[in-house]
Structure 1
Amino acid sequence: MARDVKKRGKPAYTNRRNRQKYLKKKDNKKKLSKSAVPIIKYTWDETKTPRENVRDMGIAFNPNDAVPIAEHRKEIIDAEPIDGVSIVVPKPEKKVTGRKKNEKQAAHIISNLEQQVKEEEEARAGQDRKFRLFHRETELCVYMLARHGEDFQAMTRDPKNLWQYTPKQWAKKIRTHKESEMCKFLETA
């Protein structure tokens, strides 16, 4: 006689219930904008599809459609037109469906995006690049400068040159060391 075993753990998969939960999550994900740009998030309309939203903002949904790529076709050799038959086959243009975009809104968004990019570029241009060396390399550069000065050939032959740096590599390392904040700190101390 078999004994009754109580089932524990997660209940069995209920097709109907889990399917509804999945569809709800999918709908919510579709509506949200995943853009990190604040103006795009702000103007995103949840009732529209992503393609319509982007078109209304004046941004290209597909960059390949925005800038046409010249197709290199092989020319037909010895193509001669026959009476009443044209050789050139016209290419059908893509139809744009849906509502027309709001020109004012699109111009505002594009100008705002361009302004943000310009500000970021100016901020990057204003920053000086910080050069840093590892602590061990800084010690090595200080030692080499004290021992050999600017003679990179002598630095190459030095027994402490374990990594077998070439004179050009030494010149670059010494230049980086002199531009670093650590060198400026050591000079002031």
Structure 2
Amino acid sequence: MGKPRKVKKTFNYNKNRRKEWKKQKKLPKIGCKQMKDAWDERRTVEYNLQNMGLSADPNKTLAMPKPMDDVDVEAKPWKKLPQPKKLRVAHALEREANAPQPKRFRLSEPDVRYCIYMMEKYGEDYKAMAKDLKNYYQDTPKQIRSKIRTFMSIPEQYNEYKNSTKQTAMEIS
């Protein structure tokens, strides 16, 4: 067996160390509008979050007792925290999280192309679709039928397909 080679470390002159240090020191950008408005640049992250009624470390905020300790059931195991001054931030975040989100179900572009190809070539013959060479994933006729029905149930994508077929039919005639 050979001996491991010694690698000589060389100094990288192309790296600006001051710039790297400043990048590390800079705080990350805050994407949440409510937190951005209430943030105090002169304070620490922990202090800012505590003032907003949020927690930087939930393990410290909600310190749970160990299983071996005798715990009084009625006594609360978490620490008593000071009342936050900017509680509106926590309430705004909670309202935003509980707001109903619209469902945006869409098929992927390859699946849409696959469904359109099969429908144009075979129509409703799912057994022939299963034998087609473009059936790469070897879907069964029932799987193909469910994919096509899913495609038809999404009005955004299916209506776009129908409109394009009408335009091509008008151009041909």
Normalising by structure 1, report the TM-score. 0.53
2:158 match: 183
Runs of 4+ that moved beyond 6 A: 93-96
Aligned to 2:106: 130
**C-alpha separation in 2, matches of 1:175 and 1:35:** 42
Tell me how far 1:72 sits from its aligned partner: 4.2
Q: Distance in 2 between matches of 1:68 and 1:94?
A: 5
Tell me how far 1:60 sits from its aligned partner: 0.8
- 1:61 alignment partner AA: A
Describe the SS at the equivalent of 2:86.
helix
Contact 2:127–2:141 (CA under 8 A) maintained in structure 1 = yes
Preserved CA contact (<8 Å) 2:129 2:135: no
Give the direction of change, closer, same or farther, for the CA distance of 1:28–1:46 in structure 2 (3 Å limit). Answer: farther
Is 2:88 the partner of 1:108? Answer: yes
Structure 1 Cα separation of the partners of residues 49 and 121 of structure 2: 59
Distance in 2 (alpha carbons) for counterparts of 1:58 and 1:175: 47
- Work out the CA distance in 2 between the residues paired with 1:94 and 1:175: 52
Contact in 2 for aligned 1:33/1:41 (Cα 8 Å): no
The structure having more radius of gyration, on CA atoms, is: 1
TM normalised by structure 2 equals 0.57
Long gaps (5+) in structure 1: 1-9, 11-17, 74-86
- Taking only the aligned residue pairs, the percentage that are identical comes to 25
User: C-alpha offsets along residues 17-61 of structure 1, whole Å, 9 cap, x if unaligned?
Assistant: x88x888x48962xx463211221222222222111111111011
TM-fit CA distance, 1:67: 4.1
Write the letter of the residue equivalent to 1:51. E
Which of residues 121, 131, 139 in structure 2 aligns to 1:165?
A: 139
Q: What is the RMSD of the two structures over their aligned residues, measured on CA atoms?
A: 4.0
Corresponding residue to 1:35 among 30, 35, 41: 30
Cα-to-partner distance string for 1:117-158 (whole Å, 9 max, x where unaligned): 33xx43x32x442334426412123323x2xx2x534532x3
| Higher RCO, 1 vs 2 (CA within 8 Å, ≥6 residues apart) | 1
